[in-house]
Amino acid sequence: MDMSRKPRQIAPDSPTHTITRRAAVKGLAAATGAALIGANAAGMASAQSSAGTPALKQAPEGTITIWDRAGDLFQVFDATIPAFNKKYPKITVKHVSVDVDAKLPTTLTTGVDVPDGSFYEDVNIPIQAAHLHDLTEWIQPYVKDIVPFKLHVASQNNRVIAIPWDLDPGLLYYRDDVLKEAGVDPASITTYDKLIDAAKTVKSKVKSATGPIHIEQDPGLTVLQGEMYANQQGTSLINGKGELQLNTKPYTTYVTWLKDVMDQGLGTHTVYAGTGDIVALDKGSEVFVPWAIWFDYVPQFQLKKTKGKWRAMALPAWTEGGARGAVMGGSSFIIPQKAKNPYLAWLWYEHLVFSPDGFSAVYGPNKLYPGGLNTSLPSYKPALQKQLFKNVDALGGQNLWEVATATVPDISSNYFYPTWYNQATPFYGGNIQNVLAGKMSVADALAQGANSIQTKLINRA
C-alpha cells in the first residue's frame, strides 16, 4: 500500500515516510531468539561465538531472497551486490522488487514464501515483532555506534528485531533570497517564536510572501510532522508504559503554535508537495518549511523557478537553548523468523549498513545519483564521520550533510510507536485540522482526540 505523496519520477525512496502509506500497526511480542538460525543456512556450525555469530567452518554459501520497494532505492541497493559478492562469492542475492507494505504482513502471517530479508518502515515493525528474527546477538558489535533513536525504535522488550537503516532528521528549509531581501538573518531564528517573528518581517517586506510558513493540510502527514515536533520535545504518543501522551503539554505547545501561525495570517495551509504547495513555493508566498531532510527532493525535482534558492538549517527550538534535532519518519531492514537463510541475510545487511564499502555505495555518488543519495542519513554513527553525498546544487551548493549531521546529537531516543499509530490519524491529525480550520479549540481537539484513541483503539486492543 504505497500512498506516498511524492511523485514517482526518479523520486528518492526516503521521502515516502508518510503515515498514509503504512499498513497495520504493532504487537509487542519479541522474536524468539538468535539461536534459531535457519536449518538451511549453509556453512555454519551449531556453536555460537561470543558475539553471537555462528562459528563458520567454511565460506558461507547459499541463496537469499531480499525484498525492497520498486524505484530508485531498489536500484541503489542492487548496485551494491557485486561488492557484497567480493566478500561472499558463494552467497547469491535474489533481489526482488515488491510492494512491501501490501505483501509482507500477509506473508509473515502465513509463513509461505517468506523472504530472507526485507525493507520495512519503522512504524510497521512492532506489529510484526512476533514474526521477526531476534538480531540482538548478531548486531551487538555495532550497537554502541547506532544512533540511539534508531536502535530504540528497532527494538522490542530489550531485543533488537530490525537492522536500523536511514535517519530522517527534521530541518527548517527556507528561501535564502527572500530572507536577504527582508533583512532576516537565518541564524536569528533560534526558536519557533522567533520563526513567527521572522515570518512577520518577511511578510511585511516581501510582497510575494503572503503565507511564509508551511502548515500541513493532510491529516496523515500532520501526524508525521507532529511526531517530529513531539520527538523534538522528548516525547511521543505513548510513553514506555504504553500510556497515552496526546493530551500533554508538548502536544499543546506545538498545536497552539500551529494555530498561532494561522491566526496571524502567516501560514500557507496546503498538502506537502501537492500542486498548491509547489505553486506557493515557486512563487515565493511560502518561505519556511519545517520538514524532514527529504524535503530536499522538492527543490531538486519539482521546483522550476526557485531551484537553487533554498537552504536548510537546524529546526528552531521550542525554548531558547532547547533541542534543535528531531526525527520525522524512517525505515529499517527485517529478517523473518521463518527465513530459510537468516544468517546469510544478516551478512547482506551487515555489508549494506555497517561496512564502509556498503554504506558508501548507497549514500555516495553512483550511476543513478551522481551526487549521492541525499534524502536521508545513515543511522550508523561511523558512517556519519565522513561526508558521503556531495553538496546539493538545488540548495545553492549548500553542504546539507554538514547541516543535517550536526543535529543528530540533539535527537531524543525517548520515542515509542504505539500499536494503533496509523489508526489514530482521524483523532489526531484530523482534530488538528479542525483546530486550523477554526472548528475546535486546541484543548478540545487534544482532549477529544485522546479520549477517542483511548476508548476506540487502546481499550479495544
Give yes or no for a contact between 328 and 411, defined as CB atoms under 8 angstroms apart. no
Alpha-carbon torsion 38, 43, 49, 53, what sign?
negative
- What's 38-100 look like in SS3? CCCCCCCCCCECCCCCECCCCCCCEEEEEEECCCHHHHHHHCCHHHHHHHCCCEEEEEEECCH
Give yes or no for a contact between 328 and 227, defined as CB atoms under 8 angstroms apart. yes
Phi/psi of residue 127, each to 5°? -65, -25
Lowest mean pLDDT among 1-15, 90-104, 348-362, 375-389: 1-15
Coil, strand, or helix at residue 286? coil
H runs (alpha helix) in 392-438: 400-405, 425-436
Residue 456: pLDDT band (50, 70, 90) is very high
Alpha-carbon torsion 153, 156, 159, 162, what sign?
negative
Name which of 84, 85, 117 is nearest 100 in CA terms: 117
Question: pLDDT digit string (tens) for 71-89?
Answer: 999 999 999 999 999 999 9
Report yes or no on whether pTM surpasses 0.85.
yes
Give yes or no for a contact between 290 and 232, defined as CB atoms under 8 angstroms apart. no
The C-alpha torsion from 356 through 357 and 360 to 366, rounded to 10°, is: 170
Question: pLDDT digit string (tens) for 163-214?
Answer: 999 999 999 999 999 999 999 999 999 999 999 999 999 999 999 999 999 9
Using CA atoms, how far apart are residues 259 and 247, in angstroms rounded to an integer?
Answer: 16
Give yes or no for a contact between 381 and 147, defined as CB atoms under 8 angstroms apart. yes
Residue type (1 letter), 133: H
Question: pLDDT digit string (tens) for 357-416?
Answer: 999 999 999 999 999 999 999 999 999 999 999 999 999 999 999 999 999 999 999 999
Q: How does DSSP classify residue 120?
A: E
Can you name the residues that pair with 119 across neighbouring β-strands? 333
Name which of 271, 170, 293 is nearest 227 in CA terms: 170
Question: pLDDT digit string (tens) for 106-152?
Answer: 999 999 999 999 999 999 988 899 999 999 999 999 999 999 999 99
Using CA atoms, how far apart are residues 137 and 34, in angstroms rounded to an integer?
Answer: 6
Q: Which domains does the chain have, with CATH numbers?
A: 14-168+328-384 (3.40.190.10), 172-326+403-458 (3.40.190.10)
Question: What's the mean pLDDT in 249-256?
Answer: 98
* Cα 147 to Cα 3, 143, 405, distances in angstroms: 28, 9, 11
* Cα 419 to Cα 29, 237, 242, 243, 427, distances in angstroms: 11, 11, 9, 12, 15
> Strands 62-68, 117-121: parallel, antiparallel or unpaired by DSSP?
parallel
Using CA atoms, how far apart are residues 404 and 389, in angstroms rounded to an integer?
Answer: 12
